[in-house]
Structure 1
Amino acid sequence: MNLTERQTRIMRSARAWVAEHGEAPSLKELAQAAGLSSASSAHYQVKRLRAQGVTVQTRGRPSMRCPHCGQ
């Protein structure tokens, strides 16, 4: 599997975050840890990594919706 330098940085940063904090990083936290300019850059790279079969855990932002009724 050929990963770019940026993808390798994303993968290592995500794993280091989980090891240090005990939970997956948000996309914003992942972008900061990997030295990217924005959360959307991190999202794009994570999406490409997942398409190649690499598991990268991220934490989504909490929804303010009721988990039972969706409102």
Structure 2
Amino acid sequence: MVSRRPAYLTEREEQILACIRRSIAERGEGPTMVEIGAAVGLRSKGTVAYHLRNLQERGVLARDGRGWRSYRPAR
């Protein structure tokens, strides 16, 4: 089996990305930082924000607004 996961994403980043995709598919909007943290086992909103910024810098996520729910997968 060939993995389609980019080699540079950590397991936690993959979980966050999956959480965002799932939320958009189910509700039409991205999750809050608290919802992301609960889904992937993080209690700190700062840690969630750190991962979101890293994913955005790598081009995996894009923001289409100012709020945290505005993150969308770039690919």
Q: TM-score with structure 1 length normalisation?
A: 0.71
Give the gaps of 5 or more residues in structure 2.
1-5, 71-75
Matched residues, number = 60
| Two-structure CA RMSD over aligned residues (Å) | 1.8
Q: Percent identity among equivalent residues? A: 35
1:56 is displaced (CA, Å) by: 5.5
Deviations 1:14-58 (A, max 9, x none): 111111121111111111122212221111000011111111563
Question: Larger Rg: 1 or 2?
Answer: 1
Match of 2:47 among 37, 41, 62: 41
Higher relative CO (Cα under 8 Å, sequence separation at least 6) belongs to 1
Give the gaps of 5 or more residues in structure 1.
61-71
| Structure with a larger share of its residues in strand | 2
Q: TM-score with structure 2 length normalisation?
A: 0.68
Contact 2:23–2:30, Cα closer than 8 Å, also in 1: yes
